[in-house]
A and B are shown apart, each in its own frame.
Chain A
Amino acid sequence: MASARDITDLDGREPFGAAAARVVAIRAQEVWDHSHDVQDTGDIERVHDMRVATRRLRAMLEVFAPCFPAKAHRDVLRDVKDLADALGRRRDLDVQIDLLRSYGEQAASADRRGVESLVEHFREVQAAGNADLAQALDEVKRRDLRARLTALVEAAA
C-alpha cells in the first residue's frame, strides 16, 4: 500500500489557513497520483491506494473546513465522499474475496465448494461495484473535481 507523503515542514506557528492550503493540496495530488487503472480487478492494490488517498483527503477537508469558503467546501467534500464511497464498495468486495480465497486454500477439500460458491457470488457483485466505480470516476471528471479542489486550495483563508 502506498503511504501518505509526510508533510515534515509544517510549522505550528504558521496560520491554520495557510497549513490547510498546503495539506489539502498534497492530499489531493495523492488522489490523482493513485487514480490510474483502479478498475483493474487483477491488481486490487490500485483501488486500495486510491481509496486510502481519498479517505485521507476527506479527513483533511473535514479538519480544515473553517479555512475554506463554505459552499465550495461543502460541494467538494460531498464529491470526495461520493468517490470514497464508490471506491469503498469495490474495495470491501476485493477484501472479502481475498479473505475467502486464502481461507479456502486452507479449508478441508469437502468445505471448499461452499467457499467457492460465495466467491463466485462476490465476483458478480464486484463487477457491479466496478460499474458503480466507473460512473463515480466519470462524475469526478464531469464535475471537474480536480479543478475545484485547486480553486478551493487557492481560496483558503
Chain B
Amino acid sequence: MKARRVSKLDPQAPLADMAERIVRVRLDELYSFVPRALAPTEHGAQHDMRIAAKRLRYVLEVTAPCFGSYAATAAKRARQLQDILGEVHDCDVLLPEVQAHIVRLRARDAATVRARAGDAGDLDPALTTRAPHRAAYRGLEVLCVHLQARRQLLFERFVERWASLQRAGLRRRLEQALAERAASPQAAQLAGTR
C-alpha cells in the first residue's frame, strides 16, 4: 500500500510542526480502513490497515518526545494493532500454502499410482492405498482447520481491541497530544534537577 503524500514539508521548519503534519496524515490513513477492515472477509483492508498502523507507529516512536505524553502511548497502541493484524495476516499467508502443498502431494501421488498401474485396463484401488504421501493428508487438512479457526479468533480479538481503543479515545487524545509541544530535552532535564 502506497503511503499518502504529506504536503508542505520544509526541512528548515521546526521538527515538531513537520512531525505533526505527518502524524495527522498517518492517523487519517489508519482510520480510512474503518469500517471496511472490521468485516471478517476484508483481508486486503486488514493487511493495509496493518501497514498504516506500522507507519503511524514508526513516526510516533521517533517524534513522540516532541508532543504531549499520549503520543508515546499511541505509538504502543499502534504497535498492538500492528501485532494482532500481523498474526491474522500470518494465517492468511499460511493457509493457501498448506492448501497448495496438499494439491502438490496429490499430484505427485496420482502420478506415482498411475505409473504403478502400468498397462492395466483400470486402476486397482489397492494401489491407491499405498500412495507415498497418504499419511500426510489428514494432518494437512487438520492444519487448515486450525489456521481457519485461529484466524477467526485473532480477528475477533482485533475487532475488540479496535473497539476498546475507540472507547479510550485514541484519535481524540492523539490529536490533543499533537497540539501540545513538549519542553526541550534540556529544559526537561533542568526541571528534573530542580
The answer to whether A and B come from one shared complex is yes
What is the interface of chain A, defined by CB distance below 8 A to chain B? 4, 7-20, 23, 56, 59-60, 62-63, 65-67, 92, 95-96, 99-100, 103, 107-108, 110-115, 117-118, 121, 156-157
Pairwise interchain contact A10-B66, C-beta atoms closer than 8 A: yes
**Interface range for B:** 35 or more
B19 touches A (CB below 8 Å) = yes
The secondary-structure label for the interface of chain A is helix
Pairwise interchain contact A10-B14, C-beta atoms closer than 8 A: no
Which residue on chain B has the smallest CB distance to residue A9? Answer: B185
Pairwise interchain contact B11-A14, C-beta atoms closer than 8 A: no
Pairwise interchain contact B11-A157, C-beta atoms closer than 8 A: yes
Q: What is the CB-to-nearest-CB distance from A152 to chain B, in angstroms, rounded to a whole number?
A: 13
Q: Select A12's contact among B90, B143, B181, beta carbons within 8 Å.
A: B181
Query: How many Cβ-Cβ contacts under 8 Å join chain A to chain B?
Result: 126
What is the interface of chain B, defined by CB distance below 8 A to chain A? 3, 9-19, 22, 54-55, 58-59, 61-63, 65-67, 90, 93-94, 97-98, 101, 104-105, 133, 135-143, 146, 181-182, 184-186
Among A19, A23, A110, the one with the most B-chain Cβ atoms within 10 Å of its Cβ is A19
Residues of B near A17 (CB, < 8 A) are 11-12
Residues of B near A16 (CB, < 8 A) are 9-15, 17-19
Residues of B near A121 (CB, < 8 A) are 101, 104
Q: How far, in angstroms, from A117 to B12 measured CA to CA in the complex?
A: 58
Q: How far, in angstroms, from A157 to B13 measured CA to CA in the complex?
A: 11
Which residue on chain B has the smallest CB distance to residue A14? Answer: B15
Residues of A near B58 (CB, < 8 A) are 56, 59-60, 63
Residues of A near B136 (CB, < 8 A) are 113-114, 117
Q: What is the CB-to-nearest-CB distance from B62 to chain A, in angstroms, rounded to a whole number?
A: 6
Q: How far, in angstroms, from A90 to B53 measured CA to CA in the complex?
A: 23
Pairwise interchain contact A12-B66, C-beta atoms closer than 8 A: yes
Which residue on chain A has the smallest CB distance to residue B26? Answer: A63
Residues of A near B94 (CB, < 8 A) are 96, 99
